[in-house]
Chains A and B, each alone.
Chain A
């Protein structure tokens, strides 16, 4: 149709609010972005910034009670928001699949791992028992599990954390999803295993022509593996743009703070990391202004009074939400 890359996922003004005994809790608000085919998008933010809630809402996997979702999520042409569990079930696994945070809790402890991979193949793709088993073993091999025939009948408890996460990935890949949602896929793993898993996801993305959303609190993880980054704070997007642009030319003070607080190989040894002062805000008591203002060195009266909307930085696709942005091209972190 056009030369524009096709949009696999279009999110518009997405808001997730939990009903709690203490009143409504806006976990995610006013999120809009999209993903092209074969693209890897990073979503970065501190703990409590709403990354996990956002990724689950996009999948339609939010808890079934006490949650209100508004806005629109078009996944491969299907509207997810407001879809019934039965409709979403048709998209899950095939249009979108998820790699969960903690492989210690995301695998069924009393089910052999082969059966957990088989299930999607047999139920969703209607494969025969033998075909499903053969395919499951292939998948185990694909995600780099040694002697897959033997592992097929192992229980999760008999595998290490890294191996388990590979199994989780194999489960996600079973029906060849178009979009892979990886929610902090390496948080629960040893540092040495983390890179392996990330590289595996990267490699599989190329091989299977998927799009990937990589949710993480670690900027180092997204730096080399994503084409675009979303920076989230208190449930909102505060900066979005091409990865290179965001790293070198960020305008939002929070993005800088995040960059400065993560270690870099290029730093001389004994460089002090700069911690972000204060704590993430209580989502129940958000002020009318910018939610980062209380922790921001550049905050003015206006920041406390009025919430900044996303504005273009001039560079294509680069937007930020700030009243007092860092000067362009000086945004690179001072070291």
Chain B
């Protein structure tokens, strides 16, 4: 292709993997801190998230109540830490289901091709056309009584087709590469190829999509909390804290502000990590 090669080395050089950057590690630290807080909330020196102090209602931030108290005199900081348990467990739990089922199916379909792939892909595309959010709302409103595990299961199942599509596309790009064919020719078992050749190559895409997926599920859980379809009060969740704050917005803006900040910063951290990983491994932007 003649002279275009003049510029070929330029392009290669500029696409060299860029370093992750400090901000990426700040985000990792922030997310780890949040998860740590969620896991050890009951061990940490926190107040009781349900303890109501009627003497101190709608108080602003103070030394004793770092982020103030809510309309029932409960400590906002404590409730945010406890609330992260709901958001994080729904986010992580749903993605474990989504990836646990969607990812192996996607890899297998892309690797095997043939009828298995054709049938599975058609089914998944039909399911994808079904609006996941509405399906989630619908199922949760009928499937009473609601509980955390039902929310996780419903969102998890709804995310399977999406995960399937992303992983299948990613695997297909790798499965046609020469080194995979070479491994096949050398008589490697399917299992070995899937685990040793394909998995490491699609892992970056998978992880990047996983992080953004967790963020999306957390938004969805927040929305469900507004609809009264998530965990029931008084158990705190970021979503229902913001929802409850609406009635006392004028008296106590802190109550809306801090949980909002908590959810936004957590999502920002996840999205940033996902995006960084994606550009680091030079994966094209997948829409979510």
Q: Which residues of A contact B (CB under 8 A)?
A: 18, 20-22, 25, 27, 47-53, 101-102, 183-184, 187, 215, 217
Closest chain A CB from B17 CB (angstroms):
12
Q: What chain A residues lie within 8 Å of B13 (beta carbons)?
A: 20-22
Q: Is B186 an interface residue (CB 8 A)?
A: no
Asked if A101 meets B6 with Cβ closer than 8 Å, knowing A20-B14, A21-B16, A22-B13, the reply is no
Q: Are B16 and A184 in contact (CB under 8 A)?
A: no
Q: What chain B residues lie within 8 Å of A102 (beta carbons)?
A: 1
Contact with A along B1-21 (1 / 0, CB 8 A): 111111101100110100000
Q: Are B1 and A21 in contact (CB under 8 A)?
A: no
Closest chain B CB from A231 CB (angstroms):
14
Q: What chain A residues lie within 8 Å of B2 (beta carbons)?
A: 47, 51-52, 101, 184, 187, 217
Closest chain B CB from A186 CB (angstroms):
11
Q: What chain A residues lie within 8 Å of B1 (beta carbons)?
A: 47, 102, 187
CB nearest to A235 among chain B residues: B6
CB nearest to B15 among chain A residues: A21
Closest chain B CB from A103 CB (angstroms):
14
Q: Which residues of B contact A (CB under 8 A)?
A: 1-7, 9-10, 13-14, 16
Closest chain A CB from B141 CB (angstroms):
44
Q: Are A53 and B3 in contact (CB under 8 A)?
A: yes
Q: When the two chains form the complex, which single residue of A21, A53, A184, A187 contacts B6, counting CB atoms closer than 8 Å? A: A53
Cβ contacts A to B, 21 pairs, < 8 Å: A18-B10, A20-B9, A20-B10, A20-B13, A21-B13, A21-B14, A47-B1, A47-B3, A48-B3, A48-B5, A48-B6, A50-B3, A50-B6, A53-B6, A101-B2, A101-B3, A101-B4, A187-B1, A187-B2, A215-B3, A217-B3
A23, B137: Cα distance in complex, Å: 57
Q: What chain B residues lie within 8 Å of A184 (beta carbons)?
A: 2-3
Besides A48-B5, A51-B2, A53-B6, 6 more A-B contacts (Cβ < 8 Å) are A20-B9, A20-B13, A21-B13, A47-B1, A187-B1, A187-B2
Closest chain A CB from B52 CB (angstroms):
61
Label chain B's interface by main secondary structure: helix
Closest chain A CB from B1 CB (angstroms):
7
A126, B10: Cα distance in complex, Å: 40
Q: What chain B residues lie within 8 Å of A25 (beta carbons)?
A: 10
Q: What chain B residues lie within 8 Å of A18 (beta carbons)?
A: 7, 10
Q: Are B10 and A47 in contact (CB under 8 A)?
A: no
Q: What chain B residues lie within 8 Å of A50 (beta carbons)?
A: 3, 6
A169, B16: Cα distance in complex, Å: 37
Closest chain B CB from A68 CB (angstroms):
14
Q: When the two chains form the complex, which single residue of A20, A47, A187, A215 contacts B5, counting CB atoms closer than 8 Å? A: A47
Closest chain B CB from A52 CB (angstroms):
3
CB nearest to B4 among chain A residues: A52
Closest chain B CB from A190 CB (angstroms):
15
Closest chain A CB from B5 CB (angstroms):
5
Q: What chain A residues lie within 8 Å of B4 (beta carbons)?
A: 52, 101
A25, B13: Cα distance in complex, Å: 12
CB nearest to A25 among chain B residues: B10
Q: What chain B residues lie within 8 Å of A21 (beta carbons)?
A: 13-14, 16
A107, B181: Cα distance in complex, Å: 36
CB nearest to A183 among chain B residues: B3
A51, B6: Cα distance in complex, Å: 9
Q: What chain A residues lie within 8 Å of B6 (beta carbons)?
A: 27, 48, 50, 52-53
Q: Are B14 and A51 in contact (CB under 8 A)?
A: no
CB nearest to A282 among chain B residues: B9
Closest chain A CB from B65 CB (angstroms):
52
Q: Are B3 and A51 in contact (CB under 8 A)?
A: yes
A317, B208: Cα distance in complex, Å: 62
Q: What chain A residues lie within 8 Å of B16 (beta carbons)?
A: 21
A183, B2: Cα distance in complex, Å: 10
CB nearest to A54 among chain B residues: B3
A50, B7: Cα distance in complex, Å: 10
A36, B13: Cα distance in complex, Å: 40
Closest chain A CB from B7 CB (angstroms):
8
CB nearest to A66 among chain B residues: B10
Closest chain B CB from A230 CB (angstroms):
14
A21, B15: Cα distance in complex, Å: 10
Q: What chain B residues lie within 8 Å of A48 (beta carbons)?
A: 3, 5-6
Q: What chain B residues lie within 8 Å of A183 (beta carbons)?
A: 3
Closest chain A CB from B11 CB (angstroms):
10
Closest chain B CB from A65 CB (angstroms):
11
A215, B6: Cα distance in complex, Å: 14
CB nearest to B3 among chain A residues: A52
Q: What chain B residues lie within 8 Å of A49 (beta carbons)?
A: 3
Q: What chain A residues lie within 8 Å of B7 (beta carbons)?
A: 18, 53
A22, B10: Cα distance in complex, Å: 9
Closest chain A CB from B282 CB (angstroms):
16
Q: What chain B residues lie within 8 Å of A47 (beta carbons)?
A: 1-3, 5
Closest chain B CB from A187 CB (angstroms):
6
A187, B16: Cα distance in complex, Å: 30
CB nearest to A63 among chain B residues: B7
Among B2, B7, B16: residue with most chain A CB under 10 A: B2
CB nearest to A28 among chain B residues: B6
Which 9 residue pairs across A and B have the least CB separation, nearest first? A52-B3, A47-B2, A21-B13, A51-B3, A47-B5, A48-B5, A20-B10, A184-B2, A53-B6
CB nearest to B10 among chain A residues: A20
A50, B13: Cα distance in complex, Å: 19
Closest chain A CB from B3 CB (angstroms):
3
Closest chain A CB from B56 CB (angstroms):
59
Closest chain A CB from B6 CB (angstroms):
5
